[in-house]
Amino acid sequence: MKIGIINYPTFGGSGIVGTELGLELQKRGHEVHFISYQIPERLKLEEDFIFHEVNILSYPLFKYKPYTIILASLLHKLVNEHELDILHGHYAIPHATSLYLAKLSNNKAKIISTIHGSDMHLLGLDDAYKPILVNSLNNHDALTTVSKWMKQFVVDNYDMEKDIEVIYNFVDPKKFSKIKKPEKEEVVFCHVSNFRKVKRSPDIVKAFAIEAEKFDHVRLEMIGEGPEREYCQDLAISLGINDKITFRGSLLNVPRVLCFTDVFVIPSEKESFGLAALEAMACNIPVISSNAGGLPEVVEHEKTGFVVEPGDIDALAKYMNVMIEDETLRKKLGKASAQRAKEVFHPDKIIPQYESLYKKIIEK
């Protein structure tokens, strides 16, 4: 099949999933065209790919550049030039509307969108987006989303006429198990996110402070950029634990840092799936997550880590404590995490689900 993948080029989960999906499809012999406003971060690690840039021209009249129509026009052109069978958008705003416009204008390629998370559990709820977003999605050939929780949320909060198929995110264990873990005394906690409010990153600093007061051999790695990163840094200073926390900014090679860490922490308020947690699991790392959104579909309480209520800092600290004190349990949970990542979220299990959906809508 000839497939166009439309995604954000940044470190965000939808960008990563779109890129990794395209690469997996390419491996399986499909012709994949990556379409974005710059080369997606993860694609920069690859050599063999077709990329089309959404070229946003300036015009004196425009205070805001009309991305949606520019992307739609490019999609129209690419479908005609390359005879694409499928256009697959990741993150519904505004990609779903560009896809629908492209379909209206030439109606040749089948269009499919994957709803990833904040596009619909946060942003899309606003009337500034909602009516056109829903209309665009209802006119798709297929819709997918990344967890059962996210599907239910969309069904409950939008007037959806189109069915949504749940296809979980995936991780290639080979990419994450290459690097050997060094032997070390410290217990290292790690958080990877875009530091938006919804991630509740400051809760980690607060819980970690409780444990850092009791134990010397603990450290926290905070990876990523975003609105609450500075607040987390200020908090670390005011709680007197600045020397035990490293803020690293966005990293291209996350596995490299993950291999030095022992426990992943993701205490989000809302989280449709938690790809960062899954990548940690593939690295033999147990996870402390919140009981929010689709996270419990990924992290199993007392099997691959611990699940706490969002905002419960004491519970977060309690399980950090368990992870520090009980190395045997920590390793057992880590091993079970890698096992679960391989058994449930392996590309060989997930990619065929996308392939059969593509086939189904083409044949229709």
| Residues contributing to the site for ligand GMT (CB under 6 A) | 12-15, 17, 91, 116-118, 146, 169, 194, 198, 270-275
- Tell me if 220 sits within 8 A of 245, measured CB to CB: yes
CA distance 304 to 287: 7
CA distance 363 to 104: 19
Q: How far is the CB of 313 from ligand GMT (least distance, A)?
A: 20
Cβ proximity to ligand GMT, 16 vs 187, nearer residue: 16
Q: How far is the CB of 36 from ligand GMT (least distance, A)?
A: 13
Q: How far is the CB of 344 from ligand GMT (least distance, A)?
A: 15
Q: How far is the CB of 270 from ligand GMT (least distance, A)?
A: 6
> What is the per-residue DSSP string for 305-341?
EEEE-TT-HHHHHHHHHHHHH-HHHHHHHHHHHHHHH
Cβ proximity to ligand GMT, 26 vs 147, nearer residue: 147
Cβ proximity to ligand GMT, 6 vs 324, nearer residue: 6
Return the number of other C-beta atoms located less than 10 Å from residue 240's C-beta.
Answer: 11
Q: How far is the CB of 275 from ligand GMT (least distance, A)?
A: 3
Q: Which two tokens stand for residue 132?
A: 């056109």
Strand order across the beta sheet in which 50-53 lies: 50-53, 31-36, 2-6, 86-90, 110-115, 142-145, 164-166
Q: How far is the CB of 218 from ligand GMT (least distance, A)?
A: 26
Q: What is the DSSP letter of 165?
A: E
- Tell me if 82 sits within 8 A of 55, measured CB to CB: no
Q: How far is the CB of 200 from ligand GMT (least distance, A)?
A: 11
CA distance 3 to 357: 13
Question: Residue 265 pairs with which residues in a beta bridge?
Answer: 288
- Tell me if 35 sits within 8 A of 4, measured CB to CB: yes
Cβ proximity to ligand GMT, 20 vs 211, nearer residue: 20
Cβ proximity to ligand GMT, 14 vs 261, nearer residue: 14
Q: Which residue has the tokens 């992290």?
A: 299
Residue type, 319: Y
Cβ proximity to ligand GMT, 267 vs 274, nearer residue: 274
**217 CA to centre of own chain:** 31
Cβ proximity to ligand GMT, 212 vs 275, nearer residue: 275
Q: How far is the CB of 277 from ligand GMT (least distance, A)?
A: 8
Cβ proximity to ligand GMT, 18 vs 173, nearer residue: 18
Q: What are phi and psi of 112, to 5 degrees?
A: -140, 140
